[in-house]
Amino acid sequence: MKDNYHHGDLRNALIEAGIKIINENGEDALSLRKVAAACGVSHAAPYAHFPDKESLLSAIKETVTNDFLSELEKAANGSKVKNAQEAIMAMGERYILFFRNNPDYFNFLFHKQKPEVHTDMSKDYPNDYAPFLMFKRYLNKYFEESGIRLSAKEKEIGLIKTWGLVQGLSSIAGMENVNATISWKVLAKECLK
């Protein structure tokens, strides 16, 4: 009566178990064998769903990123947000706070694989790192709304400044005694002049 066969949804169970382990004991504590054990399954079972450990980690990153994205969307659609400029301000703050509240996520999400980004503002690259894409779209909207005429190069620099600032400050947001959102609030206003 081996009812361990055909778990039902092992793939997702592995992802959930992986997230739990990372949250409780850090990324280093995560091993394929522990994740498998947490799901009550043999140590080689994950190989039916993921070709290797890195692939499981990628799947975990994907779901974490999705959670992150939905937080950003909530911020951008907040009731107090009246235009693209305010949406960007709100997103940025939420962005930085996310990594302040989960300092380990920054390295976990980025330390192996750099996010793909294209700073060319005239085109959309749907495979780009989704939070970056969100900034890019709102910034384009802001440029339209503001009515200021900018060259392609100027727009690109504007994007690097605002998103680079957010992503950059996020990397220090988890440090003790560092209030990264202050920098954001002050500098972002100068970015979006």
The number of residues that bind its own copies (CB under 8 A) is 35
Mask: binding to its own copies, 140-159, rule CB under 8 A, as x and -?
-----------------x--
Q: Is 33 in the site for DNA (CB under 7 A)?
A: yes
| Residue 170 · residue 129 · CB < 8 Å | no
The number of residues that bind DNA (CB under 7 A) is 27
Classify burial at 81, counting beta carbons within 10 Å of its beta carbon; exposed 0-12, middle 13-18, buried 19 or more: middle
Cα–Cα distance measured from residue 143 to residue 123, given in angstroms and rounded to the nearest whole number = 15
Footprint on residues 89-148 left by its own copies (CB under 8 A): 103, 107, 110-111, 114-120
Residue 177 CA: distances (Å) to CA of 100, 113, 134, 180: 11, 28, 29, 9
Q: Which is nearer to its own copies, 6 or 114 (CB)?
A: 114
SS3 content of the chain, % helix, strand, coil (to 5): 65, 0, 35
The residues of the shown chain that bind its own copies, judged by CB under 8 A, are 103, 107, 110-111, 114-120, 157, 160-161, 164-165, 167-172, 174-180, 182-183, 186-187, 190-191
The residues of the shown chain that bind DNA, judged by CB under 7 A, are 1-8, 10, 30-34, 36, 41-45, 47-49, 51-54
